[in-house]
Structure 1
Amino acid sequence: MNMEKTLFDDLVQSLKEADAITKGKTKASRRFDVTPPDVKAVREQIGLSQSEFARLMRVSIKTLQNWEQHRRNPTGPAAALLKIVSTAPEVALKSLHA
């Protein structure tokens, strides 16, 4: 069997498994729960106003307010940056203000 056929068969099997998991016919082999950061707590931890923190995060105040009120959750780079700010605020602030 050639490599392309093997890869294709693996992909088809993965899609079948995903379909079965989605329909509740089988359980996922593993599951990861990612807890979104508490944006307001992070902002208050470093003592910035909403406008200052929105500017630091390079987002609009409206986006920040949506995060703080849990109407939306930060994703991707914004979530990663929030994690850095909450873990090492001095380093993050120094780096972002440079």
Structure 2
Amino acid sequence: MEQILFDDLMQSLKEAKAIARGQAPASRRFKVAPPDVKVVREKIGLSQSEFARLMRVSVRTLQNWEQHRRSPTGPAAALLKIVLTAPDVALKALHA
């Protein structure tokens, strides 16, 4: 069984390498649209400075997100999604 697992992993790595080089199409792609930061902020009724402090980013970063010059990524994007989906829970957790 270990050899079968190893062979499967090696095949997956070969496929990933081919996809990365553009030699094979990916079997599926996921596109996640970042939330509209201004909409999220206005939904919970905070000023830019209050929301930036809550998100632990600079006001300038928040303004760049709101004006679509930059997009939040990683943990910031995940936190924005949580704030948008469950603002009461998120605010309670962030203020604790």
TM range (shorter): 0.7 to 0.9
**1:33 counterpart (27, 31, 34):** 31
Give unmatched runs, 5+ long, in structure 1: none
Structure-1 residue corresponding to 2:45: 47
Partner letter of residue 27 of structure 2?
S
**CA-based RMSD:** 2.2
- C-alpha distance in structure 2 between counterparts of 1:19 and 1:29, whole Å: 13
Within a 5 Å distance, the mapping from 1:1-98 to structure 2 comes to 17-18=15-16, 20-21=18-19, 24-98=22-96
* Identity across matched positions, percent: 78
Amino acid at match of 2:57: V
TM-score (norm 1): 0.77
> If the length of structure 2 is used for normalisation, what is the TM-score?
0.79
Q: 1:11 and 1:71 mapped to 2: Cα distance? A: 40
Amino acid at match of 2:79: L
CA deviation profile, 1:54-93 (whole Å, cap 9, x unmatched): 0000000011011111111111111111111001101111
Kindly report structure 1 stretches of 4+ aligned residues shifted beyond 2 Å. 9-26
Deviation, 1:21, is 3.7
Give unpaired runs (5+ residues) of structure 2.
none
Secondary structure at 2:41's aligned position in 1? helix
In 2, distance between residues paired with 1:15 and 1:66? 38
